[in-house]
Amino acid sequence: MRLTSARGIAATTTTLALLSGAVLALPGSAAHAADSLLSQGKTVTASSTENAGTTAALANDGNTATRWSSAASDQQWLQVDLGATATLSRIVLNWEAAYGKSYQLQTSDDGTTWTTVHTTTNGTGGVETVDVTGSGRYVRMNGITRGTGYGYSLWEFQVFGSTGATSPTCGTANAAQGRPTTASSTENAGTGAALATDGTTGTRWSSAASDPQWLQVDLGSVQQICRVVLNWEAAYGKSYQLQTSDDGATWTTVRTTTNGTGGTESLDVSGSGRYVRMNGQTRGTGYGYSLWEFQVNTGGGSVPPVQGGGDLGPNVIVFDPSTPNIQARLDQVFAQQESAQFGSGRYQFLFKPGTYNNLNAQIGFYTSISGLGLSPDDTTINGDVTVDAGWFNGNATQNFWRSAENLALSPVSGTDRWAVSQAAPFRRMHVKGGLNLAPNGYGWASGGYIADSRIDGQVGNYSQQQWYTRDSSIGGFSNGVWNQVFSGVQGAPAGGAFPNPPYTTLASTPVSREKPFLYLDGADYRVFVPAKRTNASGVSWGNGTPQGSSVPLSQFYVVKPGATAATINAALAQGLNLLFTPGVYHVDRTINVTRADTVVLGLGLATLVPDNGVTAMKVADVDGVRLAGFLIDAGPVNSATLLEVGPADSSADHGADPTTVQDVFVRIGGAGAGKATTAVVVNSDDAIIDHTWLWRADHGEGWGWETNRSDYGLVVNGDDVLATGLFVEHFNKYDVQWYGNNGRTVFFQNEKAYDAPNQAAVQNGSVQGYVAYKVGDNVTTHEGWGLGSYCYYNVDPTIRQDHGFEAPVRPGVRFHDLLVVSLGGNGQYNHVINDVGAPTSGTSTVPSVVVSYP
């Protein structure tokens, strides 16, 4: 956080003095008499924020004592969504001392393609009033060069103009009357919150005698708010905010008052929301806050609904068998993405049903390839879908973030190559031949995942250290390094001899449900949502039409880059599902999934970045939500969590229709500094976590023991939760903590944090090191199969871990085929689980194993 210096205090005083005159003069200026202030209270986003106290929304809250400020670098922007296309006449920039020397003012109809309406190379700071000619829904200050060593900072960003239509009349009906009303406190039983919205001035709400306090009303749907009337009892608010929210959690300030007068205050506002709140900051008396009535007037009816369906955007590339130059397009994207490990490019290849000849689709970072048939065999490539590691000198341990789904392959050589590591699923594929999981030259590779696939030939594991295959059919499996795990795989090698060979084999998967996928029904896109299977074995698609339901694209909000979290939440509130097209999405508020059976599906590793320390996504304690196919990338301001499945008090039974989390990946650091206390929390019962990689970065940019601090990877509080294919790595403390009963994990891969500076940094009381996988002391039933933890303390190779796994000693808590490994002697384990298992030693990288515990 930047503290205000003498420079800042002096400049702030000057700026406020300038602003005082500007705000009074501008709206009444004869030259602009017809202008309206369009931006106040509208959704605002920014390229970055300096800290949690200088967020984007503070630049258009109408309060000149709050500000947005960016990171201290050039090329930063702030943009406002006006909600509809408007004709613009004037933009006012009320700079804090940290101003823009060179910047552009730009407009856009879609938030993606921008038109510059004004360019300045000698910005002066203070209050700059710029006359402009142009139109657009989105308006942006695009900073090029800073005027100081700090970032860009705006007290207010004001856009004036007109919508080209008569402004809707503000209604006189009280939209708040009789609606559910809550408050931070009540003085006594006779002054409850609901009495402020009961339509009678003879009853009142009053709060406890302290600051701050609030009163809020739920209007039942998102509406345009044009006026709020506060009918105060003698105990009034001197300083307060009027705020709106779509979800009751994230609030936008539409008016700030610091000199409230009491009595009846009728306040014009401009904003939208389902919830409206008086947020009291300072009382006007020694009593609390007290309102006879809290009235909300709306204008223009409900906010126009978000439209479902539409095109899939520029980074979804669709082929049919007649498309010319398919190979050239595949090669073009691969050349861009082959080594772009932390780049912003995101791509999805979609192949319509049919046959494609002589193709080699090389798949790089953030690239997904999929067929558009209802069955993989509807779309055949006579050729290959290839991942190799030439970009990294034959080492495949960093071949992350890519996927192949729903295709049939006839490999040219008879064997396809898929040399990947984490976060690279191979789903719903039919390989009419063999599958080689190693890079050319058989260099290192570090684990991956196959599900719902048929490989007619042999799967060659070779150098893959660990691998998980679920609900598939294979012609055989060769080789193995540390832990190769199979559940529900027809043709899998026999288990029972672990660790020689290192195979763990379950005849079936206890519960599974395949990932939703996009397909074509004639000319129409639909999303197929597979049904739940119990004790499954083999593929789900092999015998006729697969079991499940089909949802038309018109029931999805097709999210494209530039979309705001407010619009995404509005779509969810309407009952739409979400289809994220490839791109990077900054969200300034939590995406709240509250409806049962909602599908949230990403294409091309669509990436959510939470700004200002918010949680990227929360799921209510409801049945059957499907989260699939996206990456959450922590932002520079610490988030308490990045993904929450169910609130803390979740207790509903979802056994018949569980929530699933599939190919949802989390990254903290690597693409830039990011922080989160905990990556993922699962509170809902019966949830299925099917293939996830939660990764605190150990390379790239913005990583270091404190730089990308994240103490905990996965925390499971729900009962009856199942994890199939769990990859969690490098967290500062516990990688997995499991507190719910009857939890099960089939396959776990872990590396402890490389960058621990010394033994003290990982000391857990009297215990040396935080374990990779901890089962809570109060848990009575838990079971795991094929779990491994590895250490590589290359900063201080003398660090020791007392054990990799920790669990209460109870008959109902059982583990099968556990191992710990010291990679080259960089750190050592004293035991495998609790005080059981031999210590690792030396530099030979030989696992210490426990076949059965207890």
Say if CB 493 and CB 477 are below 8 A apart: yes
Which DSSP letter does residue 78 get?
Answer: E
The distance from CA 176 to its chain's CA centroid, rounded to whole angstroms, is: 33
Round to the nearest angstrom and report the end-to-end CA distance of the chain.
Answer: 50
- Is residue 751 among the annotated active site residues? yes
Amino acid (one-letter) located at 326:
I
Say if CB 606 and CB 600 are below 8 A apart: no
Say if CB 319 and CB 352 are below 8 A apart: yes
The one catalytic residue in 187, 751, 783, 806 is 751
The continuous run of DSSP H or E covering 326 comes out as helix 326-337
Closest CA to 779 of 716, 842, 829: 716
Report angle CA 563, 424, 349 to the nearest 5 degrees. Answer: 55
Residue 628 CB neighbour total at 10 angstroms? 21
Closest CA to 65 of 290, 285, 281: 281
**Local structure of 496: helix, strand or coil:** coil
Say if CB 583 and CB 561 are below 8 A apart: yes
Beta strand residue intervals within 311-431, DSSP E: 316-319, 347-351, 354-362, 367-371, 379-386, 402-405, 408-409, 415-417, 426-427, 430-431
CA distances from 306 to 249, 252, 265 (A): 20, 20, 34
Amino acid (one-letter) located at 466:
Q
Q: Are strands 767-768 and 763-764 parallel, antiparallel or unpaired?
A: antiparallel
For 398-402, the CB contacts below 8 A with 24+ separation are: 398/341, 398/699, 399/424, 399/439, 399/445, 400/341, 400/365, 400/424, 400/693, 401/365, 401/366, 401/605, 401/631, 401/665, 402/363, 402/364, 402/365, 402/366, 402/367, 402/368, 402/605
Q: What is the sign of the dihedral through the CA atoms of 460, 462, 464 and 466?
A: positive
- Tokens encoding 245: 């929210």
Dihedral, CA atoms, 390, 392, 393, 394, nearest 10 degrees? Answer: -60
Say if CB 435 and CB 407 are below 8 A apart: no
Residue with tokens 């809250």: 61
Say if CB 99 and CB 77 are below 8 A apart: no
Dihedral, CA atoms, 219, 111, 149, 71, nearest 10 degrees? Answer: 60
Burial class (CB in 10 A: 0-12, 13-18, 19+), 309: middle
Amino acid (one-letter) located at 804:
G
Euclidean distance between CA atoms 729 and 712, whole angstroms:
10
CA distances from 271 to 39, 192, 227, 242, 718 (A): 9, 27, 9, 10, 38
- Tokens encoding 101: 């020397």
Q: Which residues sit opposite 68 in a β-bridge? A: 154
Euclidean distance between CA atoms 76 and 474, whole angstroms:
51
Residue with tokens 């009142």: 204
Which DSSP letter does residue 167 get?
Answer: P
Give catalytic residue positions: 751
